[in-house]
Chain A
Amino acid sequence: MSASADFEPTIIGFLCRWCSYTGADLAGTSRVKYPPNMIPLKVMCSGRVDPSLVLKALADGADGVLILGCHPGDCHYHEGNHKTMRRVPMLKSVLQQYGIDPARVRLEWVSASEGDRFAEVVHDFTEEIRALGPQKRVESVA
């Protein structure tokens, strides 16, 4: 699908406060450039990102949802990100079956020291969503 050149994707980012959110800060302070499309939301752990939040974000206007957590083994709550690791593919399989491109949801591990990686992930995902085009919504039936 080719999107119009002036399409600016809206992306919701769920960022674990212990790692990725700090990684984002680092990217900011070290002035690494990354696209402004992502609205970052701080969460206590990627394990707190319930699939319903992701679906709601898509339904409420996001074109893509990025979930960033600590690398496996580094989760502040031990297994929080292991849950996420299983939930996200499950959610993707549901989206796929419903006819929504599962690439609109992405899970990545970004530690507090990976400012560059953070910027790269955001950039990459933004471009992917840009290529996918806007997520269309059903108009009200009432």
Chain B
Amino acid sequence: MGENGKPKFAMYWAAGCGGCEIGVLDIQEALLDVADFFEIVFWPVAIDAKYKDVEAFEDGYIDLCLFNGSIRSDENRHMAQLLRAKSKILVAFGSCAHEGCIPGLGNQYGTEALMDYAYSLSPSTENPQGLRPQAVYEMPEGDLEIPTLLDVLTPLDAVVNVDYYVPGCPPQPPQILAVMTAIMQGAELPPPGSVIGAGVKTVCDECPRERKEKKIREFKRPGTAQPNPNECLLDQGFICLGPATRSGCDALCVKANAPCRGCYGAPPNVEDQGARMMSAIASVIDSSDPEEIERIIASLDDPLGTFYRFSLAKSSLRRLAR
């Protein structure tokens, strides 16, 4: 704690969309309590302390650091290591830091392919010389530097130790508020490595829809069918990640008649969210005939991107090279 006796707070945004930062702002007035309780020592979107200032902090100087965004570049990785060293409690805040989130789907193709599309193949791009962004580029006036993209995108805990995880894309304001309040009231925190700011069940447990015995003979897509708003989506044949997703969002998407896509990550004691969903689905496919099973499974488009929409960069698949 500083001379003013206030614990020191930091928030940092690596490769993310900014939604996590807005999620924090959406706790509304309570933000003022947070700003009052803590001394904000680093938070680029709110105050303009610079990287250099962080480097000057002694180790463990920051009491609580909320890290959002994934690790996409060497700069992100550097900041993760720096903030790890400077923070007593480092929180992977939001799906990107927790599991890599949607941009983790880029790992399906690899960084080169992402660049090839963006700078050469995209139909609106004019790049006859085949230029690519360079880490260091020499201009007449001096060298220009930009970060280098890493081969794979990873969540925060692939590069540093993480104390807690707050799931969600973005974490929902009531959950953020609960976490901040607990910390400010000095409540005892769960053991390091725990998920906080979420429930201990699955989205299905928060879902108001009526469930029957599930029997799927064909998968439907929300693009080409309109789900009944009161019955379980999975019962109707729409893939819904509710059974393989941790509770905590209050089943927002399913209440809006859209299937859950799993942003709150794997439920307690489940390591691999996609694998859990495969198991859940396999139990409800209504056939024991191998050929028919093949046909039913073939009616499911994009299994990888559906089961691992948010967690591809966290799953065991991440460690496999093609």
Contact = CB atoms under 8 A, between A and B. Distances in A.
Contact present between A and B (CB < 8 A): yes
A55 B272 contact: yes
Contact of A98 (B160, B271, B285, B322): B322
Interface stretch (B9-17, B25-33, B147-155, B183-191): B147-155
Nearest to A49: B279
Nearest to B150: A141
Contact of A85 (B108, B270, B288): B288
B71 interface: yes
Interface in A58-104: 58-59, 72, 82-87, 89-91, 93-94, 97-100
Contact of A138 (B276, B304, B321): B321
A113 interface: no
A127 interface: no
A87 B316 contact: no
A85 B304 CA distance: 19
Interface string B299-313: 010111101100000
Interface string B118-153: 000000000000000000000000000000001110
Contacts, number: 110
A56 B318 contact: no
Interface residues of B, number: 44
A87 to B, nearest CB: 4
B316 A58 contact: yes
A82 B271 CA distance: 24
B304 A97 contact: yes
A52 B272 contact: yes
Given A89-B297, A98-B108, A141-B71, A59 B316 contact: yes
B303 A93 contact: yes
A142 interface: yes
Interface of B: 71, 77, 108, 150-152, 154, 158-160, 270-272, 274-276, 278-279, 281-283, 285, 287-288, 290, 293-294, 297-298, 300, 302-305, 307-308, 315-322
